[in-house]
Amino acid sequence: MPVVLRLAWRHLSSKPRQTALTVAGVALGVAVFVFTVSMMDGLVVFFTQRLIRTAPLLTVLTERIDARPPREALAAAHPGEIVELSRPPVPDERPTIRGATALAERLRAVPELAGVSVAASVPAVLAYGTITEPATLIGIEPQRERQVTELPTLVGPGSWDGLDRRRDGAVLGTLLAGRLGAAVGDRLVATGETGAPRELEVVGIIASGLGSIDEGSAFVNLPAAQALAGWSSGEASEIRLRSREIVALAPLAKRLAALTGYEVESWQQTNESSLQLFRTIGMTTYLLTGFVLLVAGLGIANKLTTIILEKERDIAILRSFGFGRNTVRSVFVIQGLAMGGLGAAVGCLVAAGVIRYLTLYPIRFAPREGSVMAYTELFLNNDPRYYALIAAAALAISFLAALLATRRALKVVPVEVLRGTA
């Protein structure tokens, strides 16, 4: 083994510039891959954390479970056909949760739930002076909302407690407030489905980081939203829940659906399309970045092939002195692993340094209107597992490249080579 190691070292040190370039190629591929994975996973982690802070983990929706079986049976009996209803829809049937307050009290007895809040989301038009903007008024129970989301902690200027002090108070999304030109203390006029105007006083401005809230939402007291929509005091558009667990919510959602008789949706189901988009973008990015490692592996194979071509006579001499095929193969495999390992180590160090620097001094972006999330700075998820997995992948590619290159070395016939050089 010492002889094999010395031979591998001499081959690599005979042309240090080529060896350094090959190692640099591997290091660049590893560094780029680690940084890309950290950036893409950081985006998903940032989005997930923001959702968990600002949205309920479980939501009781307006769709009743007992309405599903008849529709499914009808669709199964007449697939692809147009079915005419024998009874016209009743005009006063609204997509609301009837008796939401009583249902919320029943849900508060469930031990797995840490918070329950009734909410009513209604469309409205807000007017401040001559400026009008469409908005979604979200009627909530201010104190109970503290147990469900962290929205109250994101208000500034103003205060979430202003909703308790002012029954006609409103907390505006920051971008909505900017378009209206409204500040804390200003009075707005809200017009809902009933057409009756209602004055609201701005008691706070919230910056949640989610476009759906910051751009077009205003939080008001639950009775105010119900009055603007023409609903009774027991009606709501959703019941917002905070569970003690964050993941694996499907069994709990099923139990709550059976308890309430309404569809219950987890935060993963609500944001499935956005999360799937991030996963698709991440997978595409990983595949494109992975080609950098493959190119680095081809560089190792090219370097070893060049060495083998130059060392055919030396290989023939070694074979004639009794060195077996496995021993010759080991010489070049060790060279490939040495270049791959050194490149992986350097690449991991470079990536760690860049990530550390960008964590201390993050790159900041200007907020864009219309975006799903206010991603205003580069968020990197620095997980040690990234380095281990990508370094292992670099070593595996280096090993395969070395095996590919040694095929020529194993084809060397000592008698033919030595006879040709005699």
Residue 73 lies in a domain: no
Q: Do residue 255 and residue 309 come from a single domain?
A: no
Encoding tokens for residue 63?
A: 């769709």
Instruction: State which of 209, 238, 270 marks the end of a domain.
Output: 270
Residue 78 lies in a domain: no
- Give per-residue burial for 130-157: e unless 16+ CB within 10 Å, then b: eeebebbbbbbbbebbbbbbebbebbee
Hey, which residues does 189 pair with through a beta bridge? 127, 199
Q: What is the pLDDT of residue 146?
A: 94
pLDDT tens digits, 297-337: 778 777 777 776 666 666 666 666 666 777 777 877 888 88
Residue 240 lies in a domain: yes
300, containing H or E segment: helix 272-310
Encoding tokens for residue 117?
A: 């809040």
pTM: 0.72
pLDDT at 362 over 60: yes
Q: Greatest CA separation found in the chain?
A: 106
pLDDT at 17 over 60: yes
Q: What is the pLDDT of residue 372?
A: 47
Judge whether 354 and 31 are in contact, CB under 8 Å: yes
Question: Mean pLDDT across the stretch 347-368?
Answer: 84
Residue 333 lies in a domain: yes
Q: What is the pLDDT of residue 355?
A: 92
Q: What is the pLDDT of residue 92?
A: 47
Q: Do residue 246 and residue 304 come from a single domain?
A: no
How far apart are the C-alpha atoms of 387 and 385, rounded to whole Å?
5
Q: Do residue 148 and residue 296 come from a single domain?
A: no
Judge whether 303 and 19 are in contact, CB under 8 Å: yes
pLDDT tens digits, 281-291: 878 877 877 77
Residue 328 lies in a domain: yes
Question: Mean pLDDT across the stretch 127-144?
Answer: 94
Q: Which domain holds residue 175?
A: 56-62+95-270
Q: Which residues does 397 contact at the CB level (< 8 Å), separation at least 6?
A: 293, 294, 296, 297, 300, 340
Residue 13 lies in a domain: yes
User: What's the number of domains the chain is made of?
Assistant: 2
Give 109's pLDDT tier (boundaries 50, 70, 90).
very high
Q: Do residue 266 and residue 299 come from a single domain?
A: no
Give 138's pLDDT tier (boundaries 50, 70, 90).
very high
Give 223's pLDDT tier (boundaries 50, 70, 90).
very high
Residue 339 lies in a domain: yes
Comparing 121 with 88, the larger pLDDT belongs to 121
- Neighbouring C-beta atoms of residue 31, cutoff 10 Å: 24
Residue 84 lies in a domain: no
Which amino acid would we find at residue 270? T
Q: Do residue 263 and residue 393 come from a single domain?
A: no
Q: What is the pLDDT of residue 298?
A: 78
Instruction: State which of 210, 236, 270 marks the end of a domain.
Output: 270
Give φ, ψ of 33 to 5 degrees. Answer: -65, -45
How far apart are the C-alpha atoms of 153 and 8, rounded to whole Å?
62
- According to DSSP, the β-strands at 197-206 and 187-191 are antiparallel
Give 91's pLDDT tier (boundaries 50, 70, 90).
very low
pLDDT at 370 over 50: no
| Of the listed ranges 51-65, 75-89, 176-190, the one predicted with least confidence | 75-89
Give 367's pLDDT tier (boundaries 50, 70, 90).
low
Instruction: State which of 270, 287, 315 marks the end of a domain.
Output: 270
Q: Do residue 304 and residue 261 come from a single domain?
A: no
Q: Do residue 187 and residue 258 come from a single domain?
A: yes
